[in-house]
Amino acid sequence: MRERTLIVKSLDDFKSLEQEFRDTVELIELGEAEDDEEVVAEAAEALSRLERLATQRELETLLSGEADGNDCFIEINAGAGGTESQDWAQMLFRMYMRWAEAHGYQAEILDENPGEEAGLKSASARLQGVNAYGWMKTESGVHRLVRISPFDSGARRHTSFASVWVYPEIDDDIEIEIDDRELRVDTYRAQGAGGQHVNTTDSAVRITHLPSGIVVQCQSDRSQHRNRAEAMRMLRSRLYEAELQRREEAARAEQDAKTEIGWGHQIRSYVLHPYRMVKDLRTGVETSNTQAVLDGDLDDFMAAALAQRVTGGGSGDAAADPAATDGASR
């Protein structure tokens, strides 16, 4: 049914574009015949909009990976740096939740581990919707923030890092064998805004897959059993994604680049001082509208990274980023 829905949507989108294009061309011909410049200008604007839509649909055809159409899980972890990095992790989490909301994806927060003073040490969520993993997979990597720290009384510039990890939710017909003897299951008290449940029950669940070292955790439900079931679903997805990584040389290279949350491994820089710029170091795509990006406007970055995966090429590296030489504390 998922595959059928994707095919029907693709065909309907194409037919709609085709019909709108024909109607717009006829409108232009009518406007030119009647020498009506206003109608021609309106139709030309409609053509520009159709061109953008066609480009978007063309990019969506690149979402042909084995799991691109699936829902996905997203995990964010703060790097070294205490409150600075934890605040940055929370900013990233908000950015992706805003992106999901703007694109009609349903976001369910599964786990939040708050920092001591502010921000998040880690957080995870599930995004549900068509091609959720296909779009979000390009965001996996280390993200770097350069800004004047709001937590520094000396108003000095700081560099912070946080990692983003995205993996697909697997279908029920995909069998992943997990030996219970290879699992370590820990329970702990859920962390949150407070309340009787949070303070008195060890309902949160953390599962460690010992052979791979993969750790997943969930505290979204009051029931320990439901949290365990959700954590096992996340673990199966992580193991499946790891298998996909082993089958894809390019994805394997990306995995190697994500081994350390720090200098030289970032995929994107968000510079808020001394100038304002967000630059993707894989594709060279950049914008000075940093607030829009932090509010979830990520389409240009995702599209360029997705196209690069298929066609290769792209530009930009850490050495080409002026802020990469910043020696501020991190």
Determine the residue type at 202: D
Residue whose C-alpha is closest to residue 258's, from 136, 162, 169: 162
**What does pTM read for this prediction?**
0.68
The pLDDT assigned to 276 comes to 96
Distances in Å between the Cα of 309 and the Cα atoms of 58, 92, 278, 298 are 14, 23, 20, 17
pLDDT of residue 92: 97
Instruction: Output phi, psi for 223, to 5 deg.
Output: -90, 125
pLDDT of residue 307: 83
Whole-number pLDDT of residue 315: 45
Q: Give pLDDT, residue 270.
A: 97
b/e string for 115-130 if b means 16 or more Cβ within 10 A? beeebbbbbbbbbebb
How far is residue 136's CA from residue 302's CA, in Å, rounded to a whole number? 8
Per-residue pLDDT tens digits of the chain, which is 330 residues long = 767 877 888 889 889 999 999 999 998 898 888 888 888 889 889 999 899 888 878 877 777 777 888 899 999 999 977 899 999 999 999 999 999 999 999 999 999 999 888 899 999 999 998 889 999 999 999 999 999 988 887 888 899 999 999 988 876 666 777 888 889 998 887 766 554 444 456 788 999 999 888 899 898 888 888 888 888 888 888 888 777 777 665 544 555 554 455 555 689 999 998 999 999 999 999 999 999 999 999 999 998 888 887 665 544 443 344 344 343 333
pLDDT at 109: 93
**Rounded to whole angstroms, how far apart are CA atoms 288 and 120?**
26
Per-residue pLDDT at 323: 44
Q: Looking at residue 310, what is its pLDDT?
A: 67
Of the chain, the end-to-end C-alpha distance in Å amounts to 48
Closest CA to 133 of 95, 161, 93, 100: 100
Of 128, 137, 15, whose CA–CA distance to 64 is shortest?
Answer: 137
Q: 78 in helix, strand or coil? A: strand
- Beta-ladder partners of 125: 74, 109
How many angstroms from the chain centroid is the CA of residue 313?
21
Q: At what angle do helices 37-60 and 299-311 cross, to 10 degrees?
A: 60
User: 45 in helix, strand or coil?
Assistant: helix
∠264-270-276 over CA atoms, to 5°? 130
Instruction: Cite the DSSP H helix spans in the chain.
Output: 2-33, 37-60, 83-102, 132-136, 196-200, 224-247, 249-257, 290-294, 299-311
Give the model's pLDDT for residue 173. Answer: 60
Amino acid at 42: E
User: Quick check: helix, strand or coil at residue 263?
Assistant: coil
The pLDDT, as a whole number, for residue 329 is: 35
CA angle, residues 158, 159, 160, in degrees to nearest 5: 115
